[in-house]
Amino acid sequence: MRKYVIMGVQGSGKGTQSQLLCEEFDLVHISVGDIFRWHVRNHTKLGAQVRRIMAAGELVDDDLVESVVRRRLDDHDWNYGFVIDGFPRNGRQAEFFMESYDIDAVIHLELPDDEVRRRVLSRRLCPNCGMDYNLIADRPEQEGRCDICGHELVTRADDTPEALEARLRDYHEKTRPVLELFRRKEVVHDVDGRPPLGDVQQAIRTTLGLPAYKG
């Protein structure tokens, strides 16, 4: 069983790299951000709460995040393991996580702030079917329209310059110290997140001792 945590600032490619690992090795991808976005799209009570927080450019509080992660992992549908991204984001969450689960490795995707801004502010989302686009590397065929359902694309509520700056500041102040906690257990693997997608995936597999990525 493989249990991995993937960390990095928003826009570093955590979700994409997690999915590539999960597809080949039968792992379950657990994205805290995706869970919250599902609730927002489906207008649940939790979704309304998260929408207000995201619109303000703030992060969901520890108690709520921990309860969501605990419920998801309690499903025990990860027979061969999991890759979790978006958690932990601070020292308290890291301590909770390390007390509850034995982690095999923490993959840390490194990305300079300027590149984060370039990537994140180019993202677009289809509010109808949930398809993600990036105007740098994954543009829709018709400008401003989803290739799947034709709905008009929007910018995520939390992808404004102001909200991004708040998240960058929060990441450097709170999340980076989490890496130091994991480093004490010698499970952190630093990977450059700037190269093309396939190169980053291969670097992750090399450092984890996994079979090569064939694209």
Annotated catalytic sites, by residue?
14, 89, 123, 156, 167
Euclidean distance between CA atoms 76 and 94, whole angstroms = 20
**SS3 at position 199:** helix
Tell me the two tokens of residue 15. 């979700």
Alpha helices per DSSP H over 105-211: 113-120, 161-170, 176-183, 197-208
**SS3 at position 150:** coil
Buried b (16+ CB within 10 A) or exposed e, 151-184: eebeebbbbeeebbebbbebbeebbeebeebbee
Euclidean distance between CA atoms 26 and 70, whole angstroms = 21
Helices 45-55 & 32-41 angle (0-180, nearest 10): 110
Q: How far is CA 67 from the centre of its chain?
A: 18
**SS3 at position 21:** helix
Task: Dump the DSSP string for 66-84.
Answer: HHHHHHHHTT---TTEEEE
